[in-house]
Structure 1
Amino acid sequence: MSAAPFNGFFITGTDTEIGKTCITAGLTHAFQQLGCRVAPVKSLAAGQTPDASGQWVNEDVAQLHAAQTLGLRMEEVGPLQFREPCAPHIAARLEGRSIDREALLTAIAATAARADLTLVEGVGGFRVPLTDTWDTADLAVDLGLPVVLVVGLRLGCINHALLTAEAIRARGLRLAGWVANTADPHQPHVADNLSALSARLDPIAGGPCWGHVPRLTDPSPAAVAAHLQQPLLLNALKA
């Protein structure tokens, strides 16, 4: 693995639909509060709907775009977007398009050049196919960034988190930290799950969980950031 071409973190998750984008937006807000010029990037996004003006918009890209204060264009936050809400390699095939590895890496780097900290969010879990020979784990390796794992608190989360952490280490990447996000509002034994996760993930990440985000009525970047531990984020910047 080569050295990271820019400062930042790669944000991955234990699965799809566990709140990676909400957490990435919250981290954007939190790091901005620490004085960082932050560029959030949704590396690939599948699923667009027309807005009031008729423009096709991806909800995740729009959420990250709203969280940043650099004045980034929507296409800088979401460099590769598809209409169909499905796995990226399928969405690309349906549109007769290809996912070009070098073009995507170049686009991410161009956005990163406008910031001093870049948060690159993956898609789905850690190993989502992008082409026949390239997946999101390969993307993380190409970027060479330390990884932040979003653990969706729901049934099976301990197993999913440990398998993902194992996969991250197997790729030679550093797990910089993890965030617990309440994906299932009815998840039982939350404290016990957090205790089990901390006992196993904290030693890998070299420190405690960056925060536990409960189910929020308004999951705005500021509301999410309020549940993140700023001293731990500051330590991560120095690592």
Structure 2
Amino acid sequence: MSNMRHYFITGTDTDAGKTLVASALLARARLDGLTTLGLKPVASGCEATAEGLRNADALSLMDQTYPATDYATINPHAFEPAIAPHLAAQRAGCKLDLEQLTQTLKPALEQARDLVVIEGAGGWRVPLNTNQYLAELASRLELPVILVVGLKLGCLNHAQLTAEAIKADGLELAGWVGNLLDPGFSADEALYKENLDHLTGVLPGPCLGIVPRISATCPCERAKKAADYLHLPIID
């Protein structure tokens, strides 16, 4: 994978904006003339369709994948209940396993793409089963991590704790992205800047951009608009 860029996308919490940022990074890469692939290995909260279970986050990644690929490649494990993935899997009579998940993703990761992002679920310590975490997939694949910080009250604590956990697991924080969730958090411009300066000072990776509130409702349009605020990590 030395000639390609592979990253694991995690967030400070559920709904921090992982999908928006992952899709926007792919959109940024496409604007730069790069080939892309977005993967969502495990997704709960899927909708039943004529084609099978479909997840909105996975579909957003699919929109920004070029050349296009099939849904099953992007989201091999889809579950209907909007609950923790390991519990959704249990209800579906399935047990998620790190080794099996790694082997499932192997063909996709061997594709010749310039940028590949693998989006996790929830925060860093979301369980895969009773004794494994989804974040261990990043460890198994030796992936640098991009952290999405949901900018709201409490994010300083959540961001630093997550960064510490990533480091404790022996992984590199390739960068972080701030995603404004609460407009009130940026109402005081001076205080907002102080918060961002603090994050820049304590997080070990570079800031790849700050995404403001995006008004577009179409996921594809939101990703393209967010891409204007981002840059890709620098590869040595």
| TM surpasses 0.5 | yes
User: Over residues 51-93 of structure 1, what are the superposed CA-to-partner deviations in whole Å (9 max), with x where a residue is unaligned?
Assistant: 4x47431111111111112111111111111111110111011
1:57 partner amino acid: R
**Quick one: structure 1 residues 185 and 56, their matched pair in 2 at CA, closer, same or farther if it must change by over 3 Å?**
same
Q: Pick which of 54-63 and 127-136 moved more.
A: 54-63
1:87 partner amino acid: A
Equivalent residue of 1:71, what SS? coil
TM-score with structure 2 setting the length = 0.90
2:158 partner amino acid: H
Conservation of the 8 A alpha-carbon contact between 2:46 and 2:53: yes
For 2:202, which of 200, 223, 226 is the aligned residue? 200
Tell me what 1:58 maps to: 55
**Quick one: structure 1 residues 145 and 5, their matched pair in 2 at CA, closer, same or farther if it must change by over 3 Å?**
farther
CA–CA distance in structure 2, aligned partners of residues 13 and 111 of structure 1: 23
Conservation of the 8 A alpha-carbon contact between 1:5 and 1:143: no
Equivalent positions of 1:45-124 (< 5 A) are: 45-51=43-49, 53=50, 55-114=52-111, 115-124=113-122
Identity, % of aligned positions: 38
User: Over residues 74-131 of structure 1, what are the superposed CA-to-partner deviations in whole Å (9 max), with x where a residue is unaligned?
Assistant: 1111111111111011101111111132221122221122223210111100111111
**Quick one: structure 1 residues 187 and 45, their matched pair in 2 at CA, closer, same or farther if it must change by over 3 Å?**
same
CA–CA distance in structure 2, aligned partners of residues 6 and 127 of structure 1: 27
Shift of 1:237: 4.3
Tell me what 1:172 maps to: 170
Q: Mind listing any 5+ residue stretches in structure 2 that lack a counterpart?
A: none
For 2:224, which of 222, 234, 239 is the aligned residue? 222
Please state which structure has a larger fraction of its residues in strand. Answer: 2
**Quick one: structure 1 residues 6 and 102, their matched pair in 2 at CA, closer, same or farther if it must change by over 3 Å?**
farther
Tell me what 1:29 maps to: 27
TM-score with structure 1 setting the length = 0.89
CA–CA distance in structure 1, aligned partners of residues 146 and 2 of structure 2: 15
CA–CA distance in structure 2, aligned partners of residues 98 and 221 of structure 1: 32
Conservation of the 8 A alpha-carbon contact between 1:14 and 1:161: yes
CA–CA distance in structure 2, aligned partners of residues 126 and 108 of structure 1: 19
User: Over residues 186-207 of structure 1, what are the superposed CA-to-partner deviations in whole Å (9 max), with x where a residue is unaligned?
Assistant: 2244222111111111xx11x3
Tell me what 1:12 maps to: 10
Tell me what 2:158 maps to: 160
Conservation of the 8 A alpha-carbon contact between 1:6 and 1:112: no
Shift of 1:132: 1.4
CA–CA distance in structure 2, aligned partners of residues 193 and 109 of structure 1: 39
Q: Pick which of 168-177 and 107-116 moved more.
A: 107-116
CA–CA distance in structure 2, aligned partners of residues 49 and 58 of structure 1: 6
Tell me how many residue pairs correspond in the alignment. 227
Q: Mind listing any 5+ residue stretches in structure 1 that lack a counterpart?
A: none
CA–CA distance in structure 2, aligned partners of residues 20 and 13 of structure 1: 6
CA–CA distance in structure 2, aligned partners of residues 50 and 194 of structure 1: 40
